[in-house]
Structure 1
Amino acid sequence: MTNLAHYDIVGSFLRPQELKQARADFEAGRIDAAALKAVEDQAIKDLVAKEEASGLLVVTDGEFRRSYWHLDTFWGFAGIEHIVRKHGYFFHDEETRPDSARVVGKIAFAGTHPDLEAFKFLKQLTAGTNLTARQSIPAPAQLYAELVRGPENVAALRKVYESDDELFTDISNAYRDLILALYEAGCRDVKLDDCTWGMVVDDRYWEQRDETEFDRDALQEIYLRLNNGALRDLPADLRVSTHICRGNYHSTWASKGGYQVVADHVFAKENVSDFYLEFDDERSGDFKPLAALPAGKRVVLGLVTSKRPELEDKATLKKRIEEASQYVSLENLALSTQCGFASTEEGNILTEEEQWQKIKLVIETAKEVWGN
């Protein structure tokens, strides 16, 4: 089982310069895949050693083998191709790179997957220790959102899937098969990263789109069906959590709005045990929507921002934890950064030293509040 504490991380870390250089060399044809993997392997070994030294009990590979937090996983499924669009996502003050994913055949887990291979290496590094190796994957709802992003993607989708029912079933089954393969490889902690709910709550986003195509309640039902369909009948000792974010690209954000709009769907009905929630500034709203959580569910409060290097005030963090405990018992709360430090390989605008200072702040504050 997962080694739970009242402090945690979301998972991605700033890529070290030698890894960035190796990826650039690989893209330019100066080194081969084996040479790139050797650099990745060493960078991940170094990272896990730093995670352990910092006092973390749950560790990740920093997502060092990925370019994106989501697209690399999508491209690993059968039936999905890597495409490049005219534009990326438009974040606040910045546009992302234009990579995307498109359906070219029936979606399935093909028996192997980059995330599975990545986890196997991480698991080797934690063997014989008290560390829990976590694998983060983008949520099934996130894949669906990418596949219906724009008329060209929708047209490609309809060439393969005439009905949404078949599409939803294949997406959920592909994910469930990946999760079970991770379990067979020794994974006992899987986290679904999910920005879809963050888009649903953003009124500005809905003002800019054609409401005749979707409505918020119908879309939430789709997202819930996709995610819960992947999480059905899983082993009892597999901890499944979700991280709900409003975008994290080079220290910028994509959406804003409190959780109230989606609380009755995702908080009340998604089949996960833990919610990692963004609460680092006013864009995330207040804690009142947490009242929709069933008893016993755990909330990891993302009160420490990963977007800026300035350290939060401990007294303020403790006060906000106390406020959240009005809706979720203190025992079922924990503290983390609001997101990872590098959802894409660009990373947020802070240094590696500042990154570890953020984690130190999380751990110290949690120990002062909960005593562990």
Structure 2
Amino acid sequence: MSAKLRYDIVGSFLRPAALKEARAQFAAGKIDQAALTQVEDEQIKQLVQKEAAAGLKVVTDGEFRRSYWHLDTFWGFGGVEHIVREHGYFFHDEETRADSARVAGKITFTGTHPDLAAFKFLKQITAGTDLTPRQSIPAPAQLYAELVRGPENVAALRKVYPTDEALFTDIANAYRDLILALYAAGCRDLKLDDCTWGMIVDDRYWQARDETAFDREQLQEIYLRLNNGALRDLPADLRVSTHVCRGNYHSTWAAQGGYAPVAATLFAKEKVAAFYLEFDDDRSGDFAPLAQVPAGKQVVLGLVTSKQAALEDPAQLKARIAEASQYVASADLALSTQCGFASTEEGNQLTEDQQWAKIKLVREVAQAVWNE
């Protein structure tokens, strides 16, 4: 995203009916991988055309090749296996599917990865246009959080990594190798999606679990070390951003709490150029913690919800942007939806037309505010 682009998206889009049908047929053994890939390719081409028609300058493949925003990436690393747990993630009023990731060997980037293959196709179909293809991947901290999720995962982890030092090094290196491979394939815009910070600030979540196993202050340092370790010594023309999420599954959420407890670590120290932040309701708190964002870094305000179809009042959006500018210079602000529209293939509870109406609203409000 250029410095003057004031509106953006987080990345995932509702899966079209043709794609859902093809994935169901593939799961049932009725079509092979080549047939599924053909459908994915066509649907991604159509999506990119729609993104361009909507006025977006930075485009994604909608995460159409993924089932989850995060797990598919984890499964693509060497040493990480796909498992199914007794329970999925517990959201506010739903439980997700029960897939997870578990350590089965040393964590490595093997030279191939589904996200790398996906980006190469997106790069190919945007070649010769003024569109910037973006690749989103879950943050390294998110992989760590998954690998220590529950005693069974921890037990498997400790068989390979008796202590954390080698684990942290391998996660950071595997990610950095993936990022450099994406760069070599032409990626110049990379986003780390990260729910770990949203979980840290949720007091309700921590009251429901044993805090003796994880100290929240210590976790912040671990997450920062993992993320920054993966981002060390990257090419100067690679724009890296992060999206801080509180869960986005079938229009429900997982965590709540303002940014204040993590602002001095996340905002002040993470080596990214931009923060995509949820602010679509009071679960995310107020804008005051944004004062910790260093001058010159961009804050993309997620004021327009991707969870519900009702359109926000443009006047209220403009007022909230003005309020945020008390803490971050207007020149460093932008507007987006608070999250993607389908962080998992289930998608949020709105139609494709309503999805595009949300993006249209984001663009129109941003253009009115910044006159660009």
Shorter-normalised TM range: over 0.9
Tell me what 1:353 maps to. 353
Tell me what 1:312 maps to. 312
Tell me what 2:235 maps to. 235
Show structure 2 runs of 5+ residues with no match.
none
Structure 1 residue 4 displacement after superposition? 5.3
Tell me what 1:327 maps to. 327
Tell me what 1:117 maps to. 117
Task: Encode CA deviations 1:66-121: one digit per residue, 9 max, x unaligned.
Answer: 00000000000000000000000000110000000000000000001000000000
AA partner of residue 105 (structure 1): G
Contact persistence 1:341–1:355 (CA under 8 A) = yes
AA partner of residue 82 (structure 2): H
AA partner of residue 120 (structure 1): K
Tell me what 1:271 maps to. 271
Tell me what 2:101 maps to. 101
The yes-or-no answer on 1:207 pairing with 2:191 is no
1:81 & 1:162 partners in 2: Cα distance?
18
1:139 & 1:125 partners in 2: Cα distance?
26
Contact persistence 1:4–1:57 (CA under 8 A) = no
1:217 & 1:95 partners in 2: Cα distance?
28
Task: Encode CA deviations 1:302-354: one digit per residue, 9 max, x unaligned.
Answer: 00000000000000000000000000000100000000000000000000000
1:59 & 1:151 partners in 2: Cα distance?
39
Tell me what 2:52 maps to. 52
Tell me what 1:22 maps to. 22
AA partner of residue 241 (structure 1): S
AA partner of residue 270 (structure 2): E
Alignment of 1:241-256 (within 5 A): 241-256=241-256
2:75 & 2:305 partners in 1: Cα distance?
29
Structure 1 residue 125 displacement after superposition? 1.0
The yes-or-no answer on 1:221 pairing with 2:221 is yes
Other structure's SS at 1:334 match: strand
Structure 1 residue 371 displacement after superposition? 1.2
Show structure 1 runs of 5+ residues with no match.
none
Contact persistence 1:89–1:96 (CA under 8 A) = yes
AA partner of residue 17 (structure 2): Q
The yes-or-no answer on 1:298 pairing with 2:328 is no
1:236 & 1:274 partners in 2: Cα distance?
14
1:191 & 1:63 partners in 2: Cα distance?
13
TM superposition score normalised by structure 2: 0.99
Tell me what 1:145 maps to. 145
Tell me what 1:160 maps to. 160
Other structure's SS at 1:156 match: helix
Contact persistence 1:3–1:132 (CA under 8 A) = no
Other structure's SS at 2:7 match: coil
Tell me what 2:6 maps to. 6
TM superposition score normalised by structure 1: 0.99
AA partner of residue 303 (structure 1): L
Tell me what 2:369 maps to. 369
2:307 & 2:367 partners in 1: Cα distance?
23
Task: Encode CA deviations 1:150-185: one digit per residue, 9 max, x unaligned.
Answer: 000000000000110100000000000000000000
Tell me what 1:336 maps to. 336
Structure 1 residue 3 displacement after superposition? 7.4
Structure 1 residue 211 displacement after superposition? 1.4
Tell me what 2:171 maps to. 171
AA partner of residue 326 (structure 1): Q
1:364 & 1:279 partners in 2: Cα distance?
18
How many residues align? The count is 372
User: Displaced runs of 4+ in structure 1, greater than 6 A?
Assistant: none
